[in-house]
């Protein structure tokens, strides 16, 4: 088995474990009674408090849990040189963001794109990339140790994969799942590909007004 195959297998296994964990939670406990039943996302019965993290945004400001409080946030981990999954997913999410544009800005869901390739992706590059899909997107990156801590807290994985032909280019193998943070910046749910984007948009639109009532 090649190293790249092993890495891809690891990512598939991790994604499967994440889905199994969320599904088990969904079957063991009903959705929280204060929230509408979701269509396309799996909510954890008890949101997971994340360890403190600090990512880097293009404007020089840190992105911390405090930055994300007050909104539902869709987190997607990838990189700007990604040939397929990242641009496809961000393009899909931009459709949800257009649907949310009618919601009050104070409670509107947000998309956070985090690059797992800080060697090539500066905070400025990540921001330009994410906002090319939708101007409301949040974007950040961080040194590898901080990224690993952040990804691990969300049950996501990533790993650098060398060019199989020995060239200077490399890929970043990464989880394709979306992780949902609630208005307290806790891990509250997941969505696995293939995504029902309209369903995700409807779910978070329904959840967001509830967030403003707390």
Please count the other Cβ atoms lying within 10 Å of the Cβ belonging to residue 10.
13
- End-to-end CA, the chain: 51
| Dihedral class, residue 83 (left if φ above 0, else alpha if ψ from -120 to 50, else beta) | alpha
pLDDT at 33: 40
pLDDT band per the 50, 70, 90 thresholds, residue 1 = very low
Closest CA to 32 of 179, 211, 205: 211
Q: What is the pTM of this model?
A: 0.83
Q: What domains, with CATH codes, occur in the chain? A: 3-212 (3.40.30.10)
**Strands 73-78 and 110-115, sheet pairing:** parallel
Burial class (CB in 10 A: 0-12, 13-18, 19+), 165: exposed
* Window from 33-42, 101-110, 168-177 with minimum mean pLDDT: 33-42
pLDDT in tens, 23-59: 444 434 444 445 567 889 999 999 999 999 999 999 8
Q: How far apart are CA 133 and CA 40, in angstroms?
A: 22
Nearest to 77 by CA among 165, 196, 173, 143: 173
The tens digit of pLDDT for each residue in 114-165 reads 999 999 999 999 999 999 999 999 999 999 999 999 999 999 999 999 988 8
Beta strands in 79-146, from DSSP E residues, in sequence order: 110-115, 138-140
Give the range among 34-38, 82-86, 91-95, 132-136 with minimum mean pLDDT: 34-38
Residue 23, pLDDT score: 42
- pLDDT given for residue 195 in this prediction: 97
**What does the angle CA 152 – CA 192 – CA 134 come to, to the nearest 5 degrees?**
90
pLDDT at 8: 45
Q: 33 is written with which tokens?
A: 């009674």
């Amino acid at each position: 088995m090649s190293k790249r195959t092993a890495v891809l297998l690891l990512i598939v296994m991790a994604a499967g474990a994440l889905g199994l964990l969320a599904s088990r939670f969904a079957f063991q406990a009903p959705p929280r009674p204060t929230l509408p039943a979701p269509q396309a996302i799996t909510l954890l019965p008890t949101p997971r408090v994340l360890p403190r993290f600090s990512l880097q945004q293009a404007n020089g400001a840190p992105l911390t849990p405090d930055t994300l409080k007050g909104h539902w946030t869709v987190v997607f981990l990838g990189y700007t040189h990604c040939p397929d999954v990242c641009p496809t997913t961000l393009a899909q999410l931009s459709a949800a963001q257009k649907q949310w544009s009618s919601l009050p800005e104070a409670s509107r869901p947000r998309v956070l794109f985090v690059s797992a390739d800080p060697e090539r992706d500066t905070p400025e590059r990540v921001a330009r990339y994410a906002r090319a899909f939708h101007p409301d997107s949040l974007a950040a990156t961080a040194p590898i140790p901080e990224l690993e801590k952040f990804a691990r807290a969300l049950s996501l994985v990533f790993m650098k994969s060398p060019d199989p032909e020995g060239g200077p280019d490399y890929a970043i193998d990464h989880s394709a799942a979306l992780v949902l943070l609630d208005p307290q910046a806790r891990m509250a749910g997941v969505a696995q590909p293939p995504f029902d984007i309209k369903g995700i948009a409807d779910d978070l639109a329904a959840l967001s007004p509830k967030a403003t009532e707390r």
